[in-house]
């Protein structure tokens, strides 16, 4: 059966064009949404390029919101609270920092301009054909997905840099709200999101609040990831622990009231965890302490939602982007060989616990994301590479 699962890599997914009447209905809904946005105070439109493609049927039927298959090149741009963010994003000196797909109709792109210093940041939010630029901040914007919506949050490193901010584009319009820090908690609700690294925080989108999350095992946690049925995953290790101390992959199904854990003893530090769209494939990595790049200490794989685990052999020397978990115990990671200045290389992770180099990929260096059908990641200073057939073919776009 593992051979059949791995064979899925070579299968091209077919996407049928939308019938004319469906396109008309979408156009009508889009016009109505634009009217709502105008009523909410969103300004006049300018042009922005994006390209629309239907989701594969398998993703449309899934329980959690699917990601889009391609960026959309025909949209209506809307100025944010000022034109400063729009100008920054379209500046010749702007660099793409972050990109995230939420659903077939929504994405977020974070941009920075460091010419001249100090650096300034803004984000582009896109939803259902409408595009908005946020205000400009002195700290970077990060994408946060909540249901089928993608928000942009900006968290300063210190109070002198400014106040935390959340920018949202919903069917009611565009809104920027300050984020309030409130008392710590050990649990969180189904309508809340875990963010952060080192210290996890609970983001309540409805109330625009941030609460530190106190874990019962008192460990430094990273890489919070939400799977199906509101199961959250993290990797963690005791604060100040030596490299001989095990690190853990932990998950909760009840908002932090109880946790299940898997210990990994490899002499390294935890790095990332990735979960497939169906919640069954889980891939986690650690990094070697003291390495100049994020050299991979080990990689572990579960094909049954965390019940059993195996080590992955043949993985790259260093992690550059990913991993991304697919169904059937497979996935992908972009890494670097042990040679100096080795180019980024994709490695296919097979269900038998081996990682194998894969040709034909663009040189992605970070932000690799997606699921069993869609993959995307930054491919240049201003561009995103997108594939809707698991890396077989790629298209490059600039999400300004």
Give the CATH number for residue 236. Answer: 2.130.10.10
Find the range with the poorest average confidence among 25-39, 103-117, 246-260: 25-39
Query: Does 349 reside within a domain?
Result: yes
Nearest CA to 215 out of 177, 243, 168, 255 is that of 255
Sorting pLDDT into bands at 50, 70 and 90, what band is 324? very high
| Secondary structure (H, E, C), 291-336 | CCCCEEEEEEEECCCCCCCEECECCCCEEEEEEEECCCCCEEEEEE
Chain segment 83-122, per-residue pLDDT in tens = 899 999 999 999 999 999 988 789 999 999 999 899 999 9
Which pLDDT value is given to residue 110?
Answer: 97
Sorting pLDDT into bands at 50, 70 and 90, what band is 291? low
163 and 216 part of one domain? no
Range of the domain at 78: 1-178
Sorting pLDDT into bands at 50, 70 and 90, what band is 214? very high
Query: Does 59 reside within a domain?
Result: yes
Query: Does 289 reside within a domain?
Result: yes
Q: Is the pLDDT of residue 379 over 80?
A: yes
Which pLDDT value is given to residue 140?
Answer: 95
Sorting pLDDT into bands at 50, 70 and 90, what band is 359? confident
Mean per-residue pLDDT of the chain: 81
- pTM, whole model, 2 decimals? 0.80
Query: Does 381 reside within a domain?
Result: no
First to last CA, the chain: 44
290 and 349 part of one domain? yes
73 and 100 part of one domain? yes
Sorting pLDDT into bands at 50, 70 and 90, what band is 256? very high
Which pLDDT value is given to residue 60?
Answer: 29
Query: Does 376 reside within a domain?
Result: no
Sorting pLDDT into bands at 50, 70 and 90, what band is 18? very low
161 and 210 part of one domain? no
6 and 150 part of one domain? yes
Sorting pLDDT into bands at 50, 70 and 90, what band is 328? very high
Find the range with the poorest average confidence among 32-46, 111-125, 213-227, 382-396: 32-46
**How far apart are alpha carbons 170 and 363 in whole angstroms?**
33
Q: Is the pLDDT of residue 15 over 70?
A: no
Which pLDDT value is given to residue 56?
Answer: 33
194 and 253 part of one domain? yes
Highest mean pLDDT among 20-34, 130-144, 147-161: 130-144
Sorting pLDDT into bands at 50, 70 and 90, what band is 264? very high
Highest mean pLDDT among 19-23, 58-62, 161-165, 349-353: 349-353
Which pLDDT value is given to residue 242?
Answer: 80
Sorting pLDDT into bands at 50, 70 and 90, what band is 290? low
What does the pLDDT average to over 367-385?
A: 89
Query: Does 302 reside within a domain?
Result: yes
What does the pLDDT average to over 114-141?
A: 94
How many domains are there within the chain? 2
Q: Is the pLDDT of residue 348 over 80?
A: yes
60 and 174 part of one domain? yes
204 and 67 part of one domain? no
Query: Does 159 reside within a domain?
Result: yes
Domain boundary at 155, 178, 201, which? Answer: 178
164 and 288 part of one domain? no
What does the pLDDT average to over 56-83?
A: 42
Query: Does 393 reside within a domain?
Result: no
Return the percentage of the chain with pLDDT > 70, whole number: 78
**How far apart are alpha carbons 106 and 28 in whole angstroms?**
18
Which pLDDT value is given to residue 373?
Answer: 77
Output 110-113 pairs: Cβ under 8 A, ≥24 positions apart: 110/140, 110/141, 110/142, 110/143, 110/152, 111/400, 112/140, 113/88
163 and 63 part of one domain? yes
Q: Is the pLDDT of residue 288 over 80?
A: yes
| Sheet-wide strand order for 232-238 | 219-226, 232-238, 247-252, 260-264
Which pLDDT value is given to residue 9?
Answer: 37
What does the pLDDT average to over 316-344?
A: 90
351 and 249 part of one domain? yes
320 and 199 part of one domain? yes
Domain boundary at 121, 155, 178, which? Answer: 178
Domain boundary at 116, 150, 178, which? Answer: 178
Find the range with the poorest average confidence among 84-88, 286-290, 382-386: 286-290
């Amino acid at each position: 059966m593992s051979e059949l699962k791995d064979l899925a890599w070579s299968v091209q997914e077919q996407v049928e064009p939308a019938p004319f009447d469906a396109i008309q209905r979408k156009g009508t809904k889009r016009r109505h949404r634009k009217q709502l946005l105008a009523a909410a105070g969103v300004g006049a439109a300018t042009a922005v390029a994006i390209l629309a493609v239907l989701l594969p049927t398998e993703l449309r039927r899934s329980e959690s919101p699917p990601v889009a298959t391609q960026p959309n090149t025909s949209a209506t741009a809307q100025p944010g609270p000022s034109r400063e963010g729009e100008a920054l994003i379209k500046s010749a000196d702007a660099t793409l920092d972050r990109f995230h797909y939420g659903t077939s109709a929504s994405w977020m792109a974070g941009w920075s301009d460091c010419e001249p210093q100090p650096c300034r940041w803004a984000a582009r939010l896109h939803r259902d054909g409408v595009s908005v630029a946020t205000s400009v901040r002195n700290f970077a914007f990060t994408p946060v997905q909540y249901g089928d919506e993608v928000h942009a949050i900006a968290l300063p490193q210190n109070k002198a840099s400014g106040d935390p901010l959340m920018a949202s584009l919903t069917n009611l319009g565009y809104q920027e709200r300050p984020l309030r820090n409130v008392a710590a908690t050990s649990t969180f609700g189904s309508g809340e999101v875990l963010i952060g690294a080192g210290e996890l925080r609970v983001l309540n989108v409805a109330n625009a609040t941030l609460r530190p999350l106190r874990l019962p095992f008192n460990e430094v946690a990273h890489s919070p990831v939400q799977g199906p049925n509101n199961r959250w995953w993290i990797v963690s290790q005791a604060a100040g622990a030596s490299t001989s101390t095990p690190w853990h992959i932990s998950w909760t199904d009840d908002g932090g009231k109880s946790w299940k854990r898997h210990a990994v003893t490899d002499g390294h530090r935890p790095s990332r965890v990735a979960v497939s769209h169906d919640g069954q494939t889980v891939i986690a990595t650690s990094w070697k302490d003291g390495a100049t790049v994020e050299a991979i200490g080990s990689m572990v794989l579960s094909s049954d939602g965390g019940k059993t685990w195996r080590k992955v052999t043949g993985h790259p020397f260093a992690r550059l982007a990913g991993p991304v978990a697919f169904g059937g115990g497979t996935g992908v990671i972009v890494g670097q060989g042990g040679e100096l200045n080795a180019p980024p290389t994709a490695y296919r992770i097979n269900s038998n616990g081996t990682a194998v180099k894969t040709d034909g990929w663009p040189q992605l260096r970070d932000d690799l994301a997606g699921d069993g059908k869609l993959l995307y990641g930054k491919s240049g200073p201003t561009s995103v590479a997108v594939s809707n057939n698991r890396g077989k073919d790629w298209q490059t776009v600039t999400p300004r």
